[in-house]
Every structure is written in structure tokens, then in C-alpha cells.
Structure 1
Amino acid sequence: MSGSTYGTVFKIATWGESHGNGIGVVVDGCPSGLALTEEDIQVYLDRRKPGTSKFATQRKEGDLVEIISGVFEGRTTGTPIAMLVRNTDQRSKDYSEIANYYRPGHADLNFDVKYGFRDYRGGGRSSGRETIARVAAGAVACKLLQTLGVTLTTYTKSIGPVDANPKCFDPEEIYRNPFHMPDPVAAGEAAAYLQECMHNQNSSGGVIECVIRNFPQGAGEPVFEKLDANLAKAIMSIGAVKGFEIGDGFAAARATGLDNNDPYGIDASGNIRKATNHAGGILGGISDGSDIIFRAAVKPTPSIAAPQMTVNRSQESQEICIKGRHDPVIVPRAVVVVESMAAVALIDMLFQSMTSRLDKITEFFK
């Protein structure tokens, strides 16, 4: 299977299956000298691990990370960083029936057609559990960005019909409720909505928003290696994500040029700055120094207990009720996954942009 590697200079390669021995990632291209411990990685993994509330799968995994290589005496060595999280609470018997039929909303049929074989235990390689590896890699990327003063604030913007109110935005609230919503009132409404979904053996989708501050101007290329295009690829590579927009996004299609353009002016420090940020921090595929703001649309959890119609491997129609432990909503646990993939894309584009100007190269090597 190809396609498990992302990045050009800062590269990540993920491996493992939902019910295999473990999930892991190799990070290549991280500079030496970065202070890094397993605790740094664990903080991010704890944000996505299961069993943390009644609105998440009750699979009881500690998701404890082991750094296998690339770190010595608390600092990166410049060699590949290998990390492993072992699976400890698999219940493969919950998935024994799935071997014979194709679940609606899943990649089961596509795997059979493409490979002629599939690991049906929890989706195998296409399981959301693969995102553990992305989060571990993202923790490294986030720490690199922090050394440059770059911050990422990622949160649940909406769950189903419930939207967080921008006027009630509280960054601390993101870590107080199980939905990672910045609005406590909306979080309460989301809980009620999800209770109804669970009562009906159903699930919900939602939207995740990410705000990136202090990102340097000038990262990205104007044609195929656009910063926004690579961000879109990174975010859309997350299995549950079905849409991506940056800045005003699809609303720009209903705007006029006067409404959508960002006028330039001079700030108090004498620097050229935009007065507004409809573009979302990227113009011509290159970061413009403004906040980078994007959103990801996450589909409802496809594994639901309500009866659904499907077809089995003998091409016979049948009604199914999916067993197992599944999230009624993927969004809250996907927040840190979106943040991690954004960080990986950002640091990779920064590293690629270091060779854009001869004067900067000359200055570095003098």
C-alpha cells in the first residue's frame, strides 16, 4: 500500500491498524536540538483518546506513546523520530460479521475492490484510530512552531444544527467541555442534541475551525505548492473530513470584489497590513502575515446502531445493525487531529520556503 507518507522536507509516514498490535509514525526532517519528551507528545494524544466522555467511544485505550528513536537526552538528534502507541483494548469479535458485508459510509467495498482483501476489524487501516500517528507527528510539528511563536487555536465550531456563538467565544472553555466548543451555552445545546441522536441510534457531524496566529509571511509557492492547497490536502486526508474552506470560503462565491477584497494600510509600527482578512491569511498561495483561518466539515459517524440496508459479499441484500463501540460524533476527538495535520503542513511549507531567496541563503551560510 502506497500513500502513507506526507510532506516534502518535514515528512511523516504512518503505519498500523485499528486492531493490530499498535499504531505508529516515523517523522523525518525534524532538526536536531528540539527539546522533546514523551510527555510533550502525550498531551496531544490525551486530547483524542477514547473513553473520555459518554459522547465518545468507550474503547478503553491509554494511548501511551513510546519514542523509539530520534531523541537522545531529551533533544532531537536530527535523525528519524519513530513513535509507537500500542493497542490494548481490541474487541475484534465485535466485527466478525462485518467480514461478510459492506457497511454504509465505510470504505469496506472499496478495499475489497482495490486489494481483494481487507482487515475488517474496526476498519483496519482506514479506521479513525490511524489518526493517533498523525497526532503524535503533529505534536512534534506544533513544538517546532512554538519555537517561532506560532500558535494554533482549534475548536468545534458546530455540531449538527448547533453553532458556537462568536460573541461568546472563550478560549478557556474549549478545554472545559467534552465537545471542545468555545461557547458553554452551545456546548449544552450540543449535549442535548447528541442525546437525541444516541436515543435514535444515530450520529452527527459538525465543523472544526482552526486559527493560526503569528505565522511568518512568505511561506508557500504560487502554483502547485500553494500553502492553502497543501493545507487542504493535509486536512482532507483525514478520513472523516468531507469539506475544507479558508477565510470566507464558500461565502466568497456570494460576495462582490468590494466586499471580498482586503484593503491595505500601514499599522502603528509602519508595516503594511490588511484592514480585513476575508482571504484567511493566504493570497496567491503564500502566507500574508494575517491570521490563517480555515474550517473542516466532518461527516457523521458512519457506524450507527440503527438498522440500515446493505449488500453482502454474495451480492445479497440484507439489513444490518452495526455492533461495537463507536462515537456518536467524531468532531470533538478530531479537533486535535485537524490541528496536528495543519501543524505538519505548516512546518513543511516553512522548511520548503527557506530556499526562496539567494540573499537569505547567502546570509545563512556565511
Structure 2
Amino acid sequence: MAGNTLGTLFAVTNFGESHGPAIGCVIDGCPPGMALAESDIQPELDRRRPGSSAFVTQRQEADRVEILSGVYQGQTTGTPICLLIRNTDQRSKDYSDIAQAFRPGHADYAYYRKYGIRDPRGGGRSSARLTAPTVAAGAVARKWLRERHGTQFQGCMTQLGELPIAFESWDYVAQNPFFAPVADTAALENYMRALRKSGDSCGARLRVTARNMPAGLGEPLYDRLDADIAHAMMGLNAVKGVEIGDGFACVTQKGSEHGDAMFPGEAGRPRFASNHAGGILGGISTGQDLEVSVAIKPTSSILIPRPSINTAGEAVELITKGRHDPCVGIRATPILEALLALVVMDHAMHQQARATA
């Protein structure tokens, strides 16, 4: 199956299935000489881990990462780094009822038409379970970028279903299971309780940023930094929309408003009056914060009966049982941070290669 690798000079190849013995990734292109241990990666996996609150899937996975290669005496060697995460809480019997039928909104039908076969256990390769290796790889990229450039990645939820979430402070994001930048999440909790009771699901909108960005990352036209960011974000399960900077809001703005005015700054660099462009001009980073917004669709696995068909083309009615996130966006923040870090890391490697050529 093609399409499992993200990046070129810092390339991450994802492997495994939701209910297989393990999932993981191989990172090719990590520079040598960086201190790296499981303890550098595990905190990010813990943020994404299932079963972490009453509002997400109750599948209990420790998501303990193992470094199998590419590190010697605590330092990266420049050779491929293999990261392994073992699956320990599969319940494949939950999917026996849909082995010969297609769940509405899922990738079941598309996979079956493409390959003529599919793994129904938890969705196989199409499962959000496969985002764990992405988060693990992102932790490696984040460490290098933080130590080399001081770049930091942060994300938060800005809307849960019909509920917009006003930004109060980044300090609150780590204090609640929604990654919401607000002190009081009672309304969000009540909304999710009612949603779970109804057997339905909802979507979400999230924001992810990169601060202390190096300027000059990205290429003209087809290898633009913003194009690669959109490509990576759309590779995340359930993502249906990506905005850079003001995104679709720029449609109603005037040119006099949208263009980010520049004034003399320090060290010969400009001071920007605003950041409507999201830190990217002409596909190349300006040194401003990267600003990305992502729309995530409602979870397709719900307890409400829906019409569908089976592999014989016959009409059926399906109820998707099992342990599912009523809103997959709740655990998406660490994944989006990781994806943004992987794209920035790959472009940083391209820029470094150009400087040393």
C-alpha cells in the first residue's frame, strides 16, 4: 500500500493496523548527535492516549514507545529510527457484525473497492489508532527544532460541535481533557454527556501554531510550506478542512486590511503589524508564528441505526458498536502539533542541505 510516508529529507513511514500486534514508524533523516530516549517521546503519546477521560474512547492502551534502532548510547546515529508501540487492548469481536457490511462515513467501502479486501477490525489502516506513531515521530522533530531553533508548537480546540470556544489562555489547555483554552469547561462536559447519551457524535475545530519559526522555509509553487502543511493535515483521519492564517475569512477582507504591514524591527528583520497570512508568504515562512486551523468531521461510529449495503450490494441497517470517540477532535490536538512539527522539520532539513551544499 503506497502513501504511508510523510516528508522527503525527514521521512516518516507509518506501519501497522488498529488490531494488529503493534503499530509504529520508521524515521529516516534524523540528524546524528541528538540526545534521544523513550522519555523524550512518551509525554506526547500520553497526551494523545485513549481512555484518558470520560469523553473519549475507553480503549485502554498504555501506548508505551520502544526505540528499536537509530540510537546508540543515548544519541541519534543518523540511521533510521524505528519506533514501536504494542497494541494490548484489542476487542476485534466488536467488529464481527460489520465484517461484510460498510459503515456509513467510514473508509470501509473505499478500501474494499480499491483493494478488494479490507481489515474490519477497528478499521485496520484507516483507524485513528495509527496516529500514535505520528505523535511519536513528531516528538523527535519537536525536540530537534526546539534545541536548534527554539521553535515551539501549541494547539487547542476552538469549537466543539455547535459550541464556539473563546480563547482565554494557553495555560488552561493542559488542565482539561478538551485541550480547550478556557478555565471553565462545564458547558463542554454537559454537551458531550448529552451527545454520548443520544448515541450521536459531533465535529470540532482546532488551532495549531508554531512559535519562534525560522524564516525562509519552503519552496516556490508545488513544495510550498503551506501546501505541505495542508497535505499533512488532510492526512489526519476525519479532517475535512484546513486554513492557513485567516483562511476563508480573507474573502470578506479588503487588501488594505489583509496585507500584513511591515515596519523596521531588530537585527534587520521586519516587525509585522498583523499576521493574517499565518506566517507564510509565497509559500515561504516569514519568521512569524505559523497559524493553522483544522475542521474535523463528526465521528462516523455511532449507535444510531443507519442504512447501508453489504459486500453483496444488499440493503442493511447498521449500528456501530465498540469503543469510539464521540468526538475525534478531542484527542486531535497533539496529533496536529506533531504533523506541523514534521512538516517544519522536513523543510528545515531542506534549508540546511541548501546551506551546506
Matches within 5 A, 1:6-25: 6-25=6-25
Letter in 1 for 2:139: A
Matches within 5 A, 1:332-347: 332-347=330-345
Which position in structure 2 is the counterpart of 1:315? 313
User: Structure 1, residues 81-139: CA drift from partner, whole Å, max 9, x if none?
Assistant: 00100001100000011111100110101111100000000100110001111111101
Structure 1 Cα separation of the partners of residues 266 and 95 of structure 2? 61
Structure 1 Cα separation of the partners of residues 92 and 107 of structure 2? 18
Which position in structure 1 is the counterpart of 2:82? 82
Cα deviation for residue 361 of structure 1 reads 3.4
Structure 1 Cα separation of the partners of residues 169 and 246 of structure 2? 22
Q: RMSD in angstroms over aligned alpha carbons?
A: 1.2
* Structure 2 counterpart SS, 1:224: helix
Which position in structure 2 is the counterpart of 1:220? 218
* Structure 2 counterpart SS, 1:294: strand
Structure 1 Cα separation of the partners of residues 5 and 19 of structure 2? 21
Matches within 5 A, 1:74-153: 74-147=74-147, 148-153=149-154
Structure 1 Cα separation of the partners of residues 119 and 279 of structure 2? 41
Structure 2 Cα separation of the partners of residues 210 and 21 of structure 1? 32
Letter in 2 for 1:28: D
* Structure 2 counterpart SS, 1:253: helix
Cα deviation for residue 271 of structure 1 reads 2.9
- Given candidates 251, 254, 261, the residue that maps to 2:252 is 254
Which position in structure 2 is the counterpart of 1:159? 160
Structure 2 Cα separation of the partners of residues 35 and 321 of structure 1? 48
* Structure 2 counterpart SS, 1:100: coil
Structure 1 Cα separation of the partners of residues 118 and 36 of structure 2? 36
Unaligned ranges ≥5, structure 1: none
- Given candidates 274, 299, 302, the residue that maps to 1:276 is 274
Unaligned ranges ≥5, structure 2: none
Cα deviation for residue 269 of structure 1 reads 5.4
Which position in structure 2 is the counterpart of 1:184? 183
Structure 2 Cα separation of the partners of residues 337 and 355 of structure 1? 27
Letter in 2 for 1:328: P
Q: TM-score, normalised by structure 1?
A: 0.95
1:361 equivalent in alignment to 2:352: no
Structure 1 Cα separation of the partners of residues 194 and 202 of structure 2? 10
User: Structure 1, residues 188-216: CA drift from partner, whole Å, max 9, x if none?
Assistant: 21111111111110011101101111111
Which position in structure 2 is the counterpart of 1:52? 52
Structure 1 Cα separation of the partners of residues 29 and 196 of structure 2? 44
Letter in 1 for 2:3: G
User: Structure 1, residues 3-45: CA drift from partner, whole Å, max 9, x if none?
Assistant: 1111110000000000000101000000011111101111111
User: Structure 1, residues 120-176: CA drift from partner, whole Å, max 9, x if none?
Assistant: 00100110001111111101011111112000111111111222213xx22121111
* Structure 2 counterpart SS, 1:24: strand
Cα deviation for residue 217 of structure 1 reads 0.6
Structure 2 Cα separation of the partners of residues 79 and 112 of structure 1? 36
Letter in 1 for 2:230: A
Q: TM-score, normalised by structure 2?
A: 0.97
Structure 1 Cα separation of the partners of residues 353 and 51 of structure 2? 45
User: Structure 1, residues 52-80: CA drift from partner, whole Å, max 9, x if none?
Assistant: 11111111111111100011111111110
Matches within 5 A, 1:260-299: 260-267=258-265, 271-299=269-297
* Structure 2 counterpart SS, 1:184: coil
Structure 2 Cα separation of the partners of residues 142 and 252 of structure 1? 30
Letter in 2 for 1:163: P
Structure 1 Cα separation of the partners of residues 267 and 77 of structure 2? 39
Which position in structure 2 is the counterpart of 1:329? 327
Cα deviation for residue 267 of structure 1 reads 2.5
| Count of residues in Structure 1 that have an aligned counterpart in Structure 2 | 356
Structure 2 Cα separation of the partners of residues 16 and 294 of structure 1? 28
Structure 2 Cα separation of the partners of residues 312 and 43 of structure 1? 41
* Structure 2 counterpart SS, 1:319: strand
Letter in 1 for 2:356: I
Which position in structure 1 is the counterpart of 2:37? 37
Which position in structure 1 is the counterpart of 2:170? 171
Cα deviation for residue 306 of structure 1 reads 1.1
Matches within 5 A, 1:54-73: 54-73=54-73
* Structure 1 counterpart SS, 2:332: helix
Cα 1:146–1:49 shift into 2, 3 Å: same
Cα deviation for residue 268 of structure 1 reads 5.3
User: Structure 1, residues 266-311: CA drift from partner, whole Å, max 9, x if none?
Assistant: 1255532221111010000000111110111111111001111111
